[in-house]
Amino acid sequence: MVWQTYFIEFSYLLASILFIFGLKGLSHPETAKRGMQLAEIGMALAIIGTLMHFEIVSYTWIIVGLLLGGLLGAAMGVWVPMTAMPQRTALSHAFGAFAAALVGIAEYYSYTHGFKDIAQLGHVKMGAMGFEIMLGALTTTGSLIAFGKLQGVLPGQPLVYRGQNIFNMALLATTIGLFIYLIFVPTAVIPFYVMLGLAFVFGVLLVLPIGSADMPVVMSLLNSYAGLASAATGFVLGNNVLIIAGTLDGFSGFILSVLMCRAMNRSLNNVLFGAFGSATTSAAGAAGEQGTMREVSLDDAAVQLAYASKVVFVPGYGLATAQAQHAVRELATVLEEKGVTVKYGIHPVAGRMPGHMNVLLAEANVPYSQLYELEQINPELSSTDVSVVIGANDVVNPDARDNPSSPIAGMPIIEVDRSKSVIVLKRGQGKGFSGLENPLFFKPVTGMLYGDAKDTLTKLVSAVQHA
């Protein structure tokens, strides 16, 4: 019996070390693949080790579960398109959090129904278990709502009503109140299930008022919650590898949340305490009508691009919805053949999750040496002949820099208006997701090119070839 325990614990220790090496590899694209292989080996070791556990009597359900989950995961891994990464990530947060909640519920059930010695269910253990279940439950439903919004099943606009924040806070306070009560009275079965139910409901209400444009923050935050729920599972089961992996996941999500907040000039407090989407709902900003937008013809745009010496593409979520990543890449290739230098400026919150645009462009074979971060591309824009904005809006809105009363004031932007000429690819004349007026569109340097981004880009490719 003892050698098995040592074997299991040793496999967990090795797995923990390999996980850390795996994440360390992600500090550079060249080392990342190797790192992930190490993490995969770690995972395999931990699973093999666990199968030796003395409490396991029957392998039937384990094998069926592993096969079913494996098939499900493999199917997602192979068939999910890169444009759908945000949805699939939201779904996996839901799965991870749900698994954590279920383990907690199973443990609690075993204690309260006489399968385990109830006297052993101490305050500390109940605390960890309650934390796990509360966080797991609210992350499950919250992530499912995020999935619905990203998939387009639910409306992307924030769903708000009067007294929403107060109601949500009251609900959260009740849930936490029950949680604290349970720490003192672990055997209180009814409060336990009420807490579970309320946590599920709270998850829904937490994400409903959040607009699609704020999704990168929400995704990161749910990532963090799912990880912390896993870490709490580790406390409940007294399992170190779970604590380590869950904490790494939780902190990764937390760091990403902070980075995303910074990229939108919102405080984490603002995000955590429910003022989500308030900036997007608080009307259209101060600017109002600012003259007329100048439309540019396809041929004019093609000539500008063909005779430029440096072109910067700035993609936004519109690139993903139009599936235009391959078309951009084709245009870039044609331009490069004409001797034009092509770069891409990527804003941290462009798209629906952190790093979304980078993955899309990498999928279209754009080498990552051409992908520039916000701070890297901004100094280059004044020497850029043409900036091409594709389905991006807020991240290039000069109001964030120039107008202190704008709802997005202070948000760092990609300053395309400093380049000699700007071409904005846009579906129609309407406002973007945020509903904010964008003064960039009215500037003299800006030419608007309306239409479906993919279609327009494809036409530009042949127009540039003939220019």
Partner 1 sequence: MSLNFISMLLLEGSESMSAAAIIAALYVFALAAFLGYQVISRVPPLLHTPLMSATNAISGISLVGSIVIAGGTGPQHAKVATILGFIAVVCSTSNVVGGFALTDRMLRMFKRKK
Judged by CB under 8 A, the chain residues 21 through 50 that form the site for partner 1 are: 22-24, 26-30, 32-33, 36, 39-40, 43, 46-47, 49-50
Task: Out of 221, 236, 377, 424, point to the residue binding partner 1 (CB under 8 A).
Answer: 236
Give the shortest CB-349-to-partner 1 separation in angstroms: 10
Does 356 contact partner 1 by CB under 8 A? Answer: yes
What is the rounded distance in angstroms from the CA atom of residue 165 to the CA atom of residue 143? 19
Residue 13 CB contacts under 8 Å (≥ 6 apart), including other chains: 240, 241
69 closest CA partner among 92, 45, 85: 92
Among candidate residues 329, 311, 317, the one with its CA nearest the CA of residue 416: 311
Distance of CA 199 to the CA centre of its chain: 22
**128/424 with CB nearer partner 1:** 128
Site for partner 1 in 251-280 (CB under 8 A): 251-253, 255-256, 259
Q: Please tell me whether residue 10 binds partner 1 under the rule CB under 8 A.
A: no
Between vectors from CA 330 to CA 377 and to CA 445, what angle results, nearest 5°? 45
Q: What is the DSSP letter of 212?
A: G
The yes or no reply on residue 115 touching partner 1 (CB under 8 A) is: yes
Cα torsion at 80, 85, 87, 90 (round to 10°)? 120
Q: Which of residues 209-228 bind partner 1 (CB under 8 A)?
A: 219-220, 223, 226-227
Q: Which residues are catalytic?
A: 394
Residue 76: CB partners within 8 Å, gap ≥ 6?
88, 91
Residue 167 or 368: which CB sits closer to partner 1? 368
Contacting residue, 164, 181, 265, 355, with partner 1 by CB under 8 A? 355
CB 296 within 8 A of CB 423: yes
User: Do residues 424 and 449 lie in contact, with contact meaning Cβ atoms separated by under 8 Å?
Assistant: yes
Segment interacting with partner 1 (CB under 8 A) among 232-240, 278-286, 389-397, 444-452: 232-240
Decide: is 157 part of the binding site for partner 1 (CB under 8 A): no
The yes or no reply on residue 76 touching partner 1 (CB under 8 A) is yes
| Cβ at position 167, least distance to partner 1 in Å | 30
The reply on whether position 159 binds partner 1 by CB under 8 A is: no
Shortest CB 78 distance to partner 1, Å: 7
Q: Which of positions 119-138 make contact with partner 1 (CB under 8 A)? A: 120, 122, 124-125
129 touches 257 (CB < 8 A)? no
In the set 133, 328, 353, 464, which binds partner 1 (CB under 8 A)?
353
Tell me the angle at which helices 85-112 and 189-207 cross, rounded to the nearest 10 degrees. Answer: 170
C-alpha dist (Å) from residue 51 to 7, 63, 69, 77, 351: 11, 10, 16, 25, 41
Residue 292's Cβ-count burial label (10 Å; 0-12, 13-18, 19+) is exposed
When the beta carbons of 122 and 379 are compared against partner 1, the nearer one is 122
Provide, rounded to whole angstroms, the least separation between the CB of residue 3 and partner 1.
Answer: 10
Cβ proximity to partner 1: between 88 and 459 the closer is 88
Calpha distance 238→155 (Å, rounded) = 42
- Partners of 421 in beta bridges: 386
Picking from 261, 233, 259, the residue whose alpha carbon sits closest to that of residue 246 is 233
Segment lying near partner 1 (by CB under 8 A), choices 15-23, 291-299, 404-412, 447-455: 15-23
Span interacting with partner 1, options 98-106, 271-279, 408-416, 452-460, rule CB under 8 A: 98-106
Residue 61 interacting with partner 1 (CB under 8 A): yes
Residue 293 CB, nearest distance to partner 1 (Å)? 31
Which member of 110, 157, 165, 323 binds partner 1 (CB under 8 A)?
110
Q: Which is nearer to partner 1, 249 or 437 (CB)?
A: 249
Contact status: 365 vs partner 1 (CB under 8 A): yes
Contact 424, 357 (CB under 8 A): no
Quick one: tokens of 43? 């995972």
For residues 289 to 328, the per-residue mask of contacts with partner 1, x marking binding by CB under 8 A and - elsewhere, is ----------------------------------------
| Beta-strand pair 446-450/421-426 | parallel
